[in-house]
Structure 1
Amino acid sequence: METDGQRVYSVLTTNEVGEKMMSEINQISEVFLLSKSDATVILISFHWNSFKASDRLGDDKEKLLLELGLVKVFSSSQENKSVPSFADQENLVSTPFCPHKFSETCWISHLNNLLEEGKAENNKEEERVLCPNPDCVASVGPDTIEKLKEPAVKMMYERYVLRSFVEANKEWIKWCPAPGCEYAIERHEDMLEDDDESSLDFGVVCLCGHTFCWCCKLESHRPLTCKDASVWFSSTLDTLKSNAWLVENTKRCPRCNTHVQRADEPVLRMITCFCSCHFCWRCFRSAKEHNGKWNCVEVSVEPSMRQEVEDSRYLRLWEACHEEFEKSKSDLKAIEENGIPTLVENFSFNNGDVDAVMEATLLMVQCRLALKWSCAYEYLITMHQSAKTQFVNHLRGEATKTLLRHKATQEALMNQALTSGDFSCFEVKLSASTTTTGNYFHEFVKTLESGFPGT
């Protein structure tokens, strides 16, 4: 979502996250004349805080390397005498800093135990991977891992290093929480408003189609707060569904006001409550009052069930908006998997055009989500400021019209470009529509969050 034409987050591939990580590694390596392997171990030990690592290296580099097990502390004669029991075996591997050589099988077991079970990641006192010898403090870095032949072990170590980088920088980068997704989200801190988490526009829409709130990782829920969204999912939505079922399947007894469910027979007109009240399902009168005539008019809304009826209406509104939201996610997936490859292969579709289409389509997903949660906002505000519900409904209607105009613009520009074969102005015009629509929805949500003072 755009705010004044600017994105406040980026979706990164695993490789792009790795490039950011390597940039920090290279900087430490070049400034302090260290191997990239040693720089990696140092940054992991300092939770990827390059400032602290630089301070320690600047104060006493040799002392720090010794503390972290990155100094060779044995002689050649010690190395030759270190593991006589393995003298007849090949492919033994040790760290560059100690004489303890182990077979590939031992290394795999050691690394599996540390990395797959997350012990090295969860132990905040010692995040380094150490030599398998329990009495050794030599660090295991990428240079040691490269000596192993098993690709799966190398990949596991690479994931461990990447996870530690993301975890250490979780204030500005997070993995998408969708199962199986390998995208990460980078937050642009300099574009947030006074460190206000809510200014991360409508949460996040990952390229996998998953949407989530940056703060709580629930589905993105602005204009609701994280607390209200949690309550909505945990109890309010269930209440709406229960009341909608009551409206559909029950009537209140005119005598005791208890909910009474009609039997399966649709022709049955007279219902008997457990309080012995006998009444007509359609008009609530007794059989005597009907006097043998059954042409009564059904009471559409019972005064005693107005809240249940209202809850049922909001549930239908929520579900309708949710359906539109899911459709927008399907459209995004279809464009990414089929539409974009076809356009690139068969037309003069460049990277700028691809980005413009993806941004425009991602925006539709975010806007549909904002419209959906505005329904929840409207329901919650009725409990305290019912007079404002009509205005919320009006704002949502205008926002919906704006979104539909954006969608129509994208379709018209695409059809025009495909027909003429001229994509020269496609990116500029579509990006302008995306910016305008994004800004409109930004103001729409901010208005709801502020309670629209002055109205």
Structure 2
Amino acid sequence: MVRDHTSFLQSNIKKLQKTKINEVSSNLSITKSEACLLLIHHGWSATKVDEAWFDDKERVRKLVGLLKHNSGEIVTTQTCEICFDNTVCLEKKLKSAKCGHAYCVDCWKRYINEKIKEGPHECLKPMRCPHPSCEASLEINMIRRFASQQNRKMYDRFLLRSYVETRKNIKWCPRPDCDLAVRYKSDGNYVNKYVEVSCRNGHRFCWGCGEDAHRPVSCEMMAQKNQESGDSKSLRWISTFTKKCPSCKQPIERNGGCMHVTCTVCSYQFCWLCLSDWFLCSARCNRF
């Protein structure tokens, strides 16, 4: 029997991601770091990047913050615009992004590490120059160079997840302790349709709803059965205080009355009330 899906290691996904970055970099004659930023902005679609770029290249550059100056340039005659510590600046020198705003290495490290800790919606949207009125993006290489080892791994994980979340035929295994993914051979939409798959670790789950394998029951019937068979008091508690993260589908418990929730698994920030991206709906839902 031919399997209709393949278990994927993170290294497999990184190869697909790298191929996509190289493709855009070659087609547009830009750096791989710039290609990565463009792909993130356009949902990892090389087609959308090409269309936007050839329609109005300068508009895209401005929108994503891609300037044409040399990035990471060493500056020796200025003072860090954050700490204003001349001693530190003279010893370690200053570095600038493409915009030319100069900061010392310590301030760059502090700024970049804090942005990564705030989650993917802060460090991937993209990460901008610290200057309040500057929209220049920081290149991927610069971010990785100044990030701590732990935060560099976190940043790379955010990049990888941002790619997978845009692929209709790739999903992460829903087990919290598993970092494998599954690629389905068809690009069809299987939401709420039972299709059993398994990762290399043997975790069987439904492609359609993300729950444990439940053949031959449909996703709708399984959800109804679980609701009917559970203790009503527990279900009310779960319904009130827990919801699935819209990004990674892991159950999230709500603490307190704030509608702004951050997933502890993937750091996705969303609105508890409507489950939308927090930065898209906070103005509307924050009134409740």
Secondary structure of the residue that 2:163 maps to in structure 1? helix
Q: How does 1:175-254 map to 2 (within 5 A)?
A: 175-189=172-186, 195=189, 201=195, 203-236=196-229
Aligned match for 2:132, one of 126, 131, 134: 134
1:150 paired with 2:148, answer: yes
* Aligned positions of 1:29-428 closer than 5 A: 29-72=25-68, 80-81=77-78, 83=80, 85-89=84-88, 90=92, 92-104=94-106, 106-118=107-119, 120=121, 127-148=125-146, 150-169=148-167, 171-189=168-186, 195=189, 201=195, 203-236=196-229
Q: What is the CA RMSD across the aligned residues, in angstroms?
A: 3.1
Aligned counterpart, 2:14: 18
Return the letter of the residue paired with 2:7.
Answer: V
Per-residue CA deviations over 1:105-147 (Å, capped at 9, x if unaligned) read: x4444344433332516x9xx8212123332211122221243
- Report what 2:250 is aligned to: none
How far apart are the structure 1 equivalents of 2:80 and 2:190? 58
State how far apart, in whole Å, the 1-side matches of 2:144 and 2:5 are.
Answer: 34
Distance in 1 separating the partners of 2:147 and 2:191: 45
Question: One-letter code of the match for 2:43?
Answer: H
Q: Which amino acid aligns with 2:228?
A: S
Q: 1:322 matched to which residue of 2?
A: none
Secondary structure of the structure 2 residue equivalent to 1:62: helix
What CA distance in whole angstroms lies between the structure 2 residues aligned with 1:154 and 1:217?
A: 29
C-alpha contact 2:52 2:60 (8 A) present in aligned 1: yes
Distance (whole Å) between structure 2 residues aligned to residue 118 and residue 232 of structure 1: 36
**Structure of greater Rg:** 1
Q: Once the 2 structures are TM-superposed, how far is the Cα of residue 149 of structure 1 from its aligned partner? A: 6.5
Q: TM-score, with normalisation over the residues of structure 1?
A: 0.44
Amino acid at match of 2:217: L
% identity of equivalent residues: 28
Q: Distance in 2 between matches of 1:25 and 1:154?
A: 19
After superposition, the Cα gap between the structure-2 partners of 1:229 and 1:149, relative to the gap in structure 1 and judged at 3 Å, is: closer
Structure 1: which 5+ residue stretches go unaligned?
240-455
Show CA shifts across 1:12-60 (max 9, x none). 1111111111111000000110100000111111121221111111223
Q: Does the Cα contact within 8 Å between 1:10 and 1:186 map onto a contact in 2?
A: yes
> How many corresponding residue pairs?
225
CA–CA distance in structure 2, aligned partners of residues 56 and 82 of structure 1:
38
TM score, norm. by length of structure 2: 0.67
Local SS of the residue matching 1:7: coil
Looking at secondary structure, tell me which structure has more strand per residue. 2
- Matches of 1:166 and 1:205 in 2, distance apart? 17
Sort the Cα spacing of 1:11 and 1:64 in 2 relative to 1 into closer, same or farther, 3 A.
Answer: same
CA distance in 2, matches of 1:129, 1:149: 13
In structure 2, the CA distance between the partners of 1:82 and 1:35, relative to structure 1 (3 Å rule), is farther
8 Å Cα contact 1:111-1:153 kept in structure 2? no
Q: Distance in 2 between matches of 1:80 and 1:66?
A: 28
Task: Tell me if structure 2 keeps the 8 A contact 1:176–1:185.
Answer: yes
Q: Is the CA contact (8 Å cut-off) linking 2:164 and 2:171 kept in structure 1?
A: yes
| CA 1:196–1:156: 2 relative to 1, 3 Å | closer
Cα offset, 1:162, TM superposition: 1.1
**Structure 2 residue ranges without an equivalent (≥5):** 233-288
Letter in 1 for 2:16: K
- In the superposition, relative to structure 1, how do residues 149 and 230 fare at CA in structure 2: closer, same or farther (>3 Å)? closer
Q: Equivalents in 1 of 2:13, 2:87: separation in Å? A: 43
